Amino acid sequence: MTSIDSWIEAHARFTPDKPAVLFDGMVLSYREMARAVATVAGLLRDRHGVRRGDRVAYLGTNAPDTLVLLFAAARLGAILVPLNWRLAPPELLHAVADSGARLLIHQPAFSQVLEAMAAEGPLPECVSADPGEGGVIRMAAGDTPIRHEASEGTARDALLLVYTSGTTGRPKGAVLTQAAVQANALNAIHMQGLTSADTVLTVLPLFHVGGLNIQTTPALYVGASVILHARFHPEDVLKSLAADRPSATVLVPATLAAVLAHPGWSAADLSSLRLVATGSSDVPRELMRGFVDRGVPVLQVYGATETGPVSIYQRLDDAAEEFGAIGRAGLHTSARIMLDGREAEVGEVGEIELKGPNVTAGYWNRPEATHESFHAGWFRTGDLAEADAAGVYWFRDRLKNVIISGGENIYPAEIERILHGFPQVREAAVVGVADAQWGETPVAVVVPVSEGGCDQATLLPQFAGRLARYKHPKAVVCVPALPRNALGKIQLDKVRKMAEDALEDRTASNKA
């Protein structure tokens, strides 16, 4: 396999005038994208000294620059570090310093963020590129192009250094090679049946593999078109569905909920969509039904930053019959469920382990963390699932989220699925809190549908007959919103603190 920048070169030969990327009224054809990759590679090498193995960080919202930098880095054998622009300056500085980035390209909107980062520690060379003025693509227009024939990148080279979302602990940089990105693309194409006839709508952030690799890079592999939004806004999604007619998009639970809650949802034109992909966490069935009931299939995909992410997934033929499942092991990925050092039997809950060319080469400068995350060559996901007799995987929970109460395992996701069906509940998360008698007990932290609509005395009895008694929440804590990270994942450490503080206040109030 040659460097993946060959994808763009090939489509520039076959369909030079076809739109590769559409962004904010601008259309970048495959011919123009191929030229941009060549000149940006020249800019990186000749102006900034970027060589094989060097890291180039990018700080900005979604823009064509991100994708052109990815393929230019591939041509040089360099590594792109897409930064999560929602992080605080010290967190961003950690990623830049940890990666040892040689160059930091940023959008002007983040200049003050860079100033705050610089106040915390040294930065590499920094370059401002405004996507509204053509970005790094326009900046490089006069640079000497580096043609694909002169590519120094290979399949074995690291291409992406993606920092994990860090819902707990400090983020680690997962290394994905060019071969991993291509294997992931092949999985994604198999999952969604992507062809050059598709147009995908990308609204999730490209700093995460969900936004970058579930549809965006696979679309460029097959020569499809990518509609790129700088940020997610539910109204913009609905407008784009009507005006741009995309055939596919990816929405995580938080963005699914926002689209469904928008006043324009009921009248939205969904006729161009042949599928919506979703994943990132345990997806509430009610959110998926919002699209399914309108005739749009929803495919679940399972994976992690470390796996590309596309590893286990559904296909169109399976989605309806296996509604709620995360699917089967992918075309280029092996999966298994491990329990107590053995492979689990059908129906037993255990940890998902994955192996394949899409899986990370390891964590950047973290050999111990890399060693801990692999077992005999299998990547340990930290997620719990069970498989049925047909080899279909059903997600159960995060291993670290399991509540052990009186010696019994309680899976918060099981309780959350029931809570999501209560008419009074908009969102919910279940966490374990310390208990003198049982060790831990589950507590439900709930966002009510309406103000004043959250009543513990009303909610708790609704669990009767639906779950074993020992799995029932000990208490319900009502909050206006759940804390989330940049991708909409619930930050359980903060939820747990909310629950603990609320229960302490109740105890103090009762004593008074």
pLDDT in tens, 124-170: 999 999 999 999 999 999 999 999 999 999 999 999 999 985 444 56
pLDDT at position 168, please? Answer: 45
pLDDT band for 113, please (50, 70, 90 cuts).
Answer: very high
Rounded to 10 deg, the angle between the 253-261 and 285-292 helix axes is 50
- Residue in 431, 414, 423 with CA at minimum distance from that of residue 476: 431
**Average model confidence (pLDDT) across the chain:** 93
Burial of 501 (0-12, 13-18, 19+ CB in 10 A): exposed
Q: Does one domain contain both 240 and 312?
A: yes
Residues 385 and 415 in one domain: no
Q: Does residue 122 share a domain with residue 188? A: no
Q: What is the DSSP letter of 345?
A: P
What's the CA gap between 40 and 137, in Å, rounded?
6
For tokens 């559904």, what's the residue? 314
Q: Domain total for the chain?
A: 3
pLDDT at 157: 97
Residues of 338-357 as b/e, b for ≥16 C-beta within 10 angstroms? eeeeeebeeeebbbbbbbbb
| Whether 350 and 424 share a structural domain | no
Enter the pTM of the model. Answer: 0.86
345, 426: one domain: no
Residue 440 lies in a domain: yes
Residue 22 belongs to a domain: no
Does 389 lie in the same domain as 417? no
pLDDT digits (tens, 9 = 90+) for 176-208: 999 999 999 999 999 999 999 999 999 999 999
Q: Identify whether residues 138 and 187 lie together within a single domain.
A: no
Question: Do both 199 and 298 map to the same domain?
Answer: yes
Is residue 444 located within the same domain as residue 506? yes
Residue 80 pLDDT greater than 50, yes or no: yes
Say if 164 falls within a structural domain.
Answer: no
3-state secondary structure of 31: helix
Q: Does residue 85 fall inside a structural domain?
A: yes
pLDDT value at residue 486: 61
Whether 167 is covered by a domain: the verdict is no
pLDDT of residue 169: 54
Mean pLDDT of 380-402: 92
* 29 strand-pairing partners: 19
**Residue-range definition of the domain harbouring residue 493:** 402-511
The reply to whether 23 falls in a domain is no
User: Does 298 lie in the same domain as 227?
Assistant: yes
The per-residue pLDDT for 283 is 86
Report which residue type is found at 286: E
Check the CA dihedral 478-480-485-487 and report its sign: positive
